[in-house]
Structure 1
Amino acid sequence: MPREGTGPDFIEALARGLEVITAFAPHRPAMSLSEVAAATGLARPTARRILLTLQELGYVRAASGGGGFVLTPRVLELGVAYVRSMGLWDVARPHMEELSGRTGESCSIAQLDGPDIVYVARVAVPKIVTLAVQIGTRFPALQTSLGKVLLAALAPEEAGAVLAEPSRSGLEPRWRPAPEERDAELRQVRARGWALTDEQLARGIRSVAVPLRDGTGRVVAALNVNTHAAETSVEHLLDHHLPLLLQAAGEISADFARLETVPHVTHAAQPRG
């Protein structure tokens, strides 16, 4: 990305901010301040100010374990840069299309952003549903099967801290459990490896979700099959759809792990003149 525009209206600070966002890539989802500065050719103080500004705006967050910074799903609001940086859609699309064809239902991938989930990929089947879903849609995590899977992947104390934050979804869920009931639900999800929601978010929504993992086994997203409660029983959802969902998740995770092993060519940033 050029740092000097061709006209008087070019804003260099904006260009630098976008350059920092696009520095994150599949082979380097977490970057330290020094790595961001090196990748962009920016001075460390400049890179630091940009990262802190993006963090305050919600586009990056501190990586767990003090490992620098990572993008957040809010980058989706700028376009599809976040999805492409993770490679999830390209990897998942054929498996999701097959899963949707075999179940006759919509399926989605979401990731956690604070106490909410954000949809990052979806194959939809035309049906009348209570809530419209598209890429970038945000729901409270605890009341969705996708969110339960992602929350269960966190340490219990971390999940509790995340859920103490206010949701930005603007939706009031039907199920509002006490902490003891919530923790018991997440323990069950953690133990069995999948999550069910039965009209806990809104009437008519019933779904089951499983985790998607990278090559290290870390949960990077969740995949679900969504049904209408009036059409699909819990028994059919678990007996028929769940095995197909687990198969698709395993294939997506395996493909994603293979993608991570592909060598990436890096280009040294040009020093500023």
Structure 2
Amino acid sequence: MKQKQNSAYTAPALEKGLDILELLSERDTGLTQSEIARALGRSVGEIFRMLMVLQDRGYVSQDPLSDRYSLTTFIFEVAHRIPIVGRMTAIAGPAMRELSGKINQSAHLAILSEGAVLVVGQTTSPGNNVLSVRLGARIDLWRASSGRVILAFQPEKEVKRLMKDVPVPPGTSASQILDELSAIRAAGIEVRDSFVVKGVVNISAPIIDHSGLAIGALTVPHIERFDETITFEKCKAEVIVTAVRLSKSLGGQLPEIN
């Protein structure tokens, strides 16, 4: 859960509800009422009232067999009502499915959210061997090609602000990150080994809006198959074509790709 910051304003009931939502978002199998109370340091009575309201509003559901509470997809639907996210994902969905069909690779669409990378769109390869990133996943800002590509097309002052909020990884300096972002901006795309999976090469291109800034990134975590007939260069070219298409639909223009 996000660390609470000191504030001149408090709303205890609202904070309890948000604490529950954030806690459940981290637990794949859900939690019982007593487990939620224990994790949050609250009484069972407090948690019961909050859970009843959240359940009535459709944000959580209770498994009748295990009595565990889990988040529903409603919270994801609410997030997609944000105009820019909703518009981008609506446009990107068909384009990404077409892309995955052409290159036999999975693809995902990501945005920046609260100092992290949030996956808001995802398509899987039509083949038997699939590597994909979970829809709704939050990824370390500095260890994701999507985040780096988006930041490469942001004002430097915004990048430096994020560096204060989200420290760069150990062994990496701020100047090194800035140099790498500059190189990505010059190339117009990032092609690099995955930060987390050996043998995977990320192909990531920015989605540019009318302001000339990146509002998202389209990324293909490319896997190489022994019997693959589609070349890596073909995959890269198709990612660029799709990113250009999405940018134009939002009134933006991708820079020239080197």
The TM-score with structure 1 as length reference comes to 0.55
Contact 1:118 1:136 (8 Å CA) reproduced: yes
Q: 1:93: Cα distance to partner?
A: 1.3
In structure 2, the gaps of 5 or more residues are: 1-12, 15-72, 253-258
Deviation of 1:184 after TM superposition, in Å, equals: 1.3
In the other structure, the counterpart of 2:142 is: 142
Q: CA deviation at 1:134?
A: 1.9
Q: 2:119 is matched with which residue?
A: 119
Residue 152 of structure 2: aligned partner: 152
1:254 aligned partner = 248
Q: For 2:203 and 2:124, how far apart are their aligned partners in 1?
A: 15
Q: State the Cα distance separating 1:212 from its structure 2 match.
A: 0.9
Once residues 231 and 160 of structure 1 are traced to their aligned partners in structure 2, the CA distance between those partners, rounded to angstroms, is 43
Q: Is the 8 A contact 1:143 1:197 kept in 2?
A: no
1:191 equivalent in alignment to 2:193: no
Task: Give the direction of change, closer, same or farther, for the CA distance of 1:127–1:230 in structure 2 (3 Å limit).
Answer: closer
For residues 188-208 of structure 1, give each alpha carbon's deviation from its aligned partner in whole angstroms, at most 9, with x where no partner exists.
011111112303234343211
Give the conservation status (yes or no) of the 8 Å contact 2:154–2:214: no
Which deviations, in whole Å up to 9, do the C-alpha atoms of 1:240-268 show, x marking residues without a partner? 2121111111111222339xxxxxxxxxx
Q: Which amino acid aligns with 1:177?
A: T
How far did 1:95 drift?
Answer: 0.9
- Alpha-carbon displacement from aligned partner over 1:37-83 (angstroms, at most 9, x marks no partner): xxxxxxxxxxxxxxxxxxxxxxxxxxxxxxxxxxxxxxx98222333
Query: d(CA) in 2 for partners of 1:223 and 1:215?
Result: 17
Q: Structure 1 unaligned runs (5+)?
A: 1-12, 15-75, 168-172, 259-273
Q: Which residue of 2 aligns with 1:242?
A: 236
**TM superposition shift of 1:151:** 1.1
What SS class does the counterpart of residue 245 from structure 2 fall into? helix
- 2:183 pairs with 1:181: no
Shift of 1:158: 2.3
Residues 243 and 128 of structure 1: CA distance in aligned 2, closer, same or farther (over 3 Å): closer
Which whole-Å CA distance do the structure 2 matches of 1:246 and 1:113 have between them?
Answer: 24
Per chain length, whose mean CA-contact separation is higher, i.e. which structure has more relative contact order (CA < 8 Å, sep 6+)?
1
Structure-2 change in CA distance of 1:207 and 1:256 (3 Å): same
Report the aligned-residue RMSD. Answer: 3.3
8 Å contact from structure 2 (residues 124, 130) kept in 1: no
* 8 Å CA contact 1:145, 1:195 repeated in 2: yes
Relative distance call for 1:224 and 1:231 in structure 2 (3 A) is: farther
TM-score, structure 2 normalization: 0.58
Match of 2:214 among 211, 216, 219: 219
Cα deviation for residue 152 of structure 1 reads 0.8
Change in CA separation of 1:242 and 1:222 when aligned onto 2, cut-off 3 Å: same
- Name the CA shift for 1:104/1:143 in 2 (closer, same or farther; >3 Å): same
Among residues 62, 67, 76, which one is paired with 1:79 in the alignment? 76
Q: Shift of the alpha carbon at 1:147?
A: 1.0
Give 1:192's aligned amino acid: A
* CA deviation string 1:168-215 (max 9, x = no partner): xxxxx8x95222322211110111111123032343432111111223
SS at match of 1:164: helix
Question: In structure 1, the residue corresponding to 2:251 is in which secondary structure?
Answer: helix
d(CA) in 1 for partners of 2:139, 2:172? 16
Aligned position for 1:93: 93
How big is the shift at 1:232? 11
Alpha-carbon shift at residue 225 of structure 1 (Å): 1.2
1:149 and 1:240 mapped to 2: Cα distance?
20
